[in-house]
A and B are shown apart, each in its own frame.
Chain A
Amino acid sequence: EVQLVESGGGLVKPGGSLRLSCAASGFTFSSYSMNWVRQAPGKGLEWVSSIVGTSVYTYYADSVKGRFTISRDNAKNSLFLQMNSLRAEDTAVYYCARTISTIVVAPDYWGQGTLVTVSS
Chain B
Amino acid sequence: AIQLTQTPSSLSASVGDRVTITCRASQVISSALAWYQQKPGKAPNLLIYAASTVQSGVPSRFSGSGSGTDFTLTISSLQPDDFATYYCQQFNSYPLTFGGGTKVEIK
Contacts and interface: CB of A to CB of B under 8 A. Distances in A.
B46 A105 contact: no
Interface stretch (B65-73, B75-83, B89-97): B89-97
Residue with the greatest number of chain A CB neighbours at <10 A, chosen from B91, B96, B101: B96
Residue with the greatest number of chain A CB neighbours at <10 A, chosen from B45, B49, B50, B95: B95
Nearest to B101: A44
Contacts of A56: none
B1 A62 contact: yes
Nearest to A101: B49
B43 A45 contact: no
Contact of B46 (A35, A60, A107): A107
Contacts of B49: 100, 104, 106, 108
A104 B50 CA distance: 7
Please classify the interface of chain A as helix (H, G, I), strand (E, B), loop, or mixed, using the class held by over half of its residues. Answer: strand
A27 interface: no
Interface stretch (A13-21, A73-81, A109-117): A109-117
B43 A44 contact: no
Residue with the greatest number of chain B CB neighbours at <10 A, chosen from A95, A105, A106: A106
A44 B4 CA distance: 12
A59 B94 contact: yes
16 contacts: A35-B96, A44-B101, A45-B98, A45-B101, A47-B95, A95-B44, A104-B50, A105-B96, A106-B34, A107-B44, A107-B46, A108-B49, A110-B43, A110-B44, A110-B45, A113-B43
Interface of A: 35, 37, 44-47, 50, 59-62, 95, 97, 100, 104-108, 110-113
Interface of B: 1, 32, 34, 36, 38, 43-46, 49-50, 55, 87, 89, 91, 94-101
